[in-house]
């Protein structure tokens, strides 16, 4: 597994997808290297290859791996967060992408109020209404966004979505497009609202074409995850 080579291939494919866009052609696109279930050696290799953003989905795993990271790497929490881990999460992560309830947002706001930090967050949307998935449903979205907008210690940076797993990523194109429309509608009235996080190894090309400006890629950079470890 050549991590550096894979990383460059993903960057190239992001660029190709961006050129197929019909709008926002010049928008910068952020690649998050998702290191969950990979060791710190793999994480280091990605950073040496140019990764500026790292994504982890569990607080415990990040606690073990982040101490070796240099400060200028941006750390993203992309997995579900339990309210009893918010204090640790605020300490560890620059951006928490998985805010999906007022209860969690309240706990995060309180945890950040005890620090100097204003916590950057994304609201995770369950746009496909998958029952087993985290993310706020669109009917509950307005009250959550209103709450986060008003929270003194949270800064709403954008939206996150995990698309359904399908055999052909094209099937998710309408969903990515819809998310970009929601994002564009919210953007003009908000400061610092700039991140639309969607697209993973199997669908990031389509996601970027439809307006993702953050993609979270694990397998295409690091290979398959081994959950036996």
Ligand X SMILES: *Cc1c(COP(=O)(O)O)cnc(C)c1O
Residue ranges that bind ligand X, judged by CB under 6 A? 34, 36, 57, 78-79, 162, 200-202, 216-220
Least distance to ligand X, CB of residue 26, Å: 25
In the block, residue with structure tokens 């950057």: 120
Q: Which is nearer to ligand X, 39 or 142 (CB)?
A: 39
- How many CB atoms are closer than 10 A to CB 140? 14
CA 53 to chain centre: 10
Among 122, 151, 150, which residue's Cα sits nearest to residue 134?
Answer: 122
Quote the crossing angle between the two packed helices 40-48 and 3-19, to the nearest 10°.
50
Q: Which is nearer to ligand X, 57 or 101 (CB)?
A: 57
Among 200, 208, 204, which residue's Cα sits nearest to residue 36?
Answer: 200
Q: Which is nearer to ligand X, 150 or 218 (CB)?
A: 218
Q: 121: number of CA atoms within 13 Å, CB side? A: 35
Q: Which is nearer to ligand X, 123 or 220 (CB)?
A: 220
Least distance to ligand X, CB of residue 212, Å: 12
End-to-end CA distance of the chain: 18
Q: Which is nearer to ligand X, 21 or 223 (CB)?
A: 223
Least distance to ligand X, CB of residue 174, Å: 20
Q: Which residue's Cβ has the minimum distance to ligand X? A: 218
In the block, residue with structure tokens 């197929």: 20
Among 175, 165, 182, 181, which residue's Cα sits nearest to residue 206?
Answer: 175
Least distance to ligand X, CB of residue 162, Å: 5
Least distance to ligand X, CB of residue 219, Å: 3
């Amino acid at each position: 597994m050549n991590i550096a080579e894979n990383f460059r291939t993903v960057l190239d494919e992001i660029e190709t997808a961006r050129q197929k866009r019909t709008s926002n052609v010049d928008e910068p696109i952020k690649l998050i290297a998702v290191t969950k279930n990979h060791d710190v050696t793999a994480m280091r290799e990605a950073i040496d290859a140019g990764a500026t953003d790292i994504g982890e989905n569990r607080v415990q795993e990040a606690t073990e791996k982040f101490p070796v990271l240099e400060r200028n790497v941006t750390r993203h929490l992309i997995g579900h967060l339990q309210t009893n881990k918010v204090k640790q999460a605020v300490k560890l992560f620059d951006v928490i992408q998985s805010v999906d309830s007022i209860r969690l947002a309240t706990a995060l706001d309180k945890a950040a109020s005890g620090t100097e930090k204003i916590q950057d967050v994304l609201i995770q949307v369950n746009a496909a209404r998958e029952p087993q998935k985290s993310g706020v449903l669109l009917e509950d979205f307005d009250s959550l966004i209103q709450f986060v907008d008003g929270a003194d210690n949270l800064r709403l940076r954008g939206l996150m979505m995990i698309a359904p797993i399908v055999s052909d990523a094209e099937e998710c194109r309408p969903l990515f497009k819809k998310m970009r429309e929601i994002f564009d509608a919210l953007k003009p009235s908000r400061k610092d609202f700039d991140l639309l996080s969607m697209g993973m190894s199997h669908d990031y090309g389509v996601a970027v074409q439809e307006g993702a400006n953050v993609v979270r890629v694990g397998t295409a950079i690091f290979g398959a995850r081994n959950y036996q470890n």
